[in-house]
Amino acid sequence: MKLISSLLLLICLFSYQAIAQFTVVSPDNKVEAKVNIGETISYSVLFNGKTVLIDSPIGFTFKNSPPLGDDMKLVESIYSEINETWKPILKRETEVLNHCNQLQLQIAEIRFPNRKINLTFRAYNDGIAFRTEFLGIQKAHQFTIVNEKTSFYFPDDLTCWAANHKGYGSHQENEYFEHKLSELEMEWVIGLPMTVKVDDECYVAITEADLTNFAGMYLKPAVGKNKIGVKTQLAPLPGEKEDGDKVILELPHKTPWRVVMIGETPGRLVESEIISNLNEPCAIKDPSWIKPGISAWDHWWSGRVKMDTKTIKEYIDLASEMGWPYQLIDWQWYGQYNLPDADITRVTDSVDMPEVLEYAKKKNVRCWLWLYWADVDRSDFEKACALYEKWGIAGVKIDFMARDDQKMVNWYHKIAKIAAQHHLMVDFHGAYKPTGFQRTYPNLMTQEGVLGNEYNKWSMRVTPEHCVTLPFTRMLAGPMDFTPGGFINRNGETFANELPSNVMGTRCFQLAQFVIYDSPFQVACDHPVNYRGQPGIEFLKKVKTVWDDTKVLNGQIGQFITMARRSADDWFIGSMTNSYARDLEISLDFLEPGKYKMVSFADAPDSGIDATKLVKSEIIVKKGDKIKIKMAPGGGFAAYLECIK
């Protein structure tokens, strides 16, 4: 970090006491955060000179101790710059720029001068972030946080997209519905991210990063004098009520980053790397064993659970045919789960695991294993991981945690670290949203915390509107295990909850999800019979799960999105629309000079009637060409562009 100055801006106002005001501005001078230290701690945010967040408090309430955040005085202020690049393992681009200006304020209470905090603000071109570090050397003494008073107040009653998770014991599988801020209800438990439209040239999303040894953050409606917004609500510890204990800490201790992502368009939010930048660098010395890719997935999705050697081999055959590196062996491979005597090292009688693994090896496929989290918790997980490593298992999918209190957050981190020691990748299903820990432990490939394709099996909730809202809401937090790829495609009036399971929208709508939805471990949901010989299957043999470049070409929340992703010299395009037919025109100005063979998969003229129909085309294109995309209701478009040497 480069030291810029000690005190850049200090304005003293005399009321109850002097108020010190500080400003930190992004490298491009578009994002500005103002911090006030006085009777209270508060902040505000501007973007391109327009107010995004108005005076909003920061503070904490402790058990058996006075609140922290009132009657404060400045001890020291330090400005610095962070300007570095780093190479991600689970990449959406080859190299990430981490460039921001940072303000660190050391603050003490007037009444209790030994109670000090470091309040750090960072201003990036794509948002602001701040965190609190509780200072001290009394490591033997524990403090308990019962409330965080941080709020986010907006200048008007704006439109937002918010998910009500209804409680803190949640899989976070809900829709992000459109509301006015004034329509949010106090009993809601609003999940992150929450996206807000400030105006036509400013969109923001509130979330958190580097959630470590702390409680997960939610939001509640907040109304102040001439202002409206949301306030922080932390997940309570197990057995505690909403107003009970949240975090037990020893000094020193840091909170997660509170993040306000900012962009001129919704697409700029999708492209942002601010969450990753706010996490620690990769802690795995040699991560070369971490291999992203697509996985076949057994009968849980497209039929009733049938756990036997023959069935698993059918999916291994599919993965091999498709060139996918993985097969996910789902629940019941070790018998009935979530029982006191469930043993995650013992294989059920109907599965010959040595035969399965030898067969997979011959087919150049590696297997993942599903685990129920409580069975993992009761077991010697390190011993189990050592066994899985001996078997040649690639990774584990751990399910049904449905919590993000401090104890569960620490459990996630412990499990990811143990798995990494045994060269195992991890998929947290039944999980909370990501906060960027994938940068530090990239063996954590993906997390669920999303209302995904499996809900088509029993609900009408996975609508095209939901699917084109996710990139601008849940996906802003990080990878999501949506399980795309349903090939029994139905339009709204023909969709039904039945077996084999079908999905809303066209075939091209499902193909596009493999480009648009982030997940380095992408699980294709359908049965081998529903894939073989089907139109569009070629695209699933070509598409990747990590990328060298990512661009959002257009999009509006809940309406449509088009993205382009580069892998080496080739490009992939995905576009989706909601329940309305849509015509779009995009420019290929993102291409490098030269010629490309574009193989596209577009909705057919009758895809509105038969959603499985598509039209495959091949043309030669070059940089700057324009292509037209015509999508049916609930439709999509997918293409791969191969560079012609």
Active-site amino acid positions:
399, 454
Reduced 3-state DSSP string for 93-145: CCCEEEEEEEEEEEEEECCCCCCEEEEEEEEECCEEEEEEEECCCCCCCEEEE
Say how far apart CA 158 and CA 183 lie, in whole Å. Answer: 10
Buried/exposed 585-596: b ≥16 CB within 10 Å, e otherwise: ebebeebeeeeb
Phi and psi at 239, nearest 5°, equal: 85, -10
Say how far apart CA 509 and CA 523 lie, in whole Å. Answer: 16
Pair type for strands 595-603 and 582-587: unpaired
Say how far apart CA 194 and CA 147 lie, in whole Å. Answer: 20
Say how far apart CA 480 and CA 469 lie, in whole Å. Answer: 13
Say how far apart CA 8 and CA 4 lie, in whole Å. Answer: 9
Task: Give the pair of three-digit tokens for residue 632.
Answer: 């049916």
Task: Give the pair of three-digit tokens for residue 70.
Answer: 């009132």
Report helix angle 406-421 to 381-391, nearest 10: 40
Nearest to 452 by CA among 436, 429, 434: 429
Nearest to 480 by CA among 505, 455, 450: 450
Say how far apart CA 406 and CA 501 lie, in whole Å. Answer: 37
Q: CA 571: distance to chain centroid?
A: 23
Which residue is associated with the tokens 């959002």?
A: 552
Q: Which residues pair with 103 in a beta bridge?
A: 79, 121
**Cis peptide before 252, with omega less than 30 degrees from 0?**
yes
Report helix angle 309-322 to 353-362, nearest 10: 20
- Is-contact 116 75, C-beta < 8 A? yes
Phi/psi class of residue 577: alpha, beta or left (left: φ > 0; alpha: ψ in -120 to 50)? beta
Say how far apart CA 601 and CA 612 lie, in whole Å. Answer: 12
Q: Which residues pair with 227 in a beta bridge?
A: 224
Nearest to 109 by CA among 153, 151, 62: 62
Following DSSP, what letter does each residue of 136-193 receive, concatenated?
A: -S-TTSEEEEEEE--EEEESS--EEEE-B--SSS-------EEEEGGG--TT--B-S-
What are the angstrom distances between the C-alpha of 128 and each of 100, 158, 234? 9, 19, 20
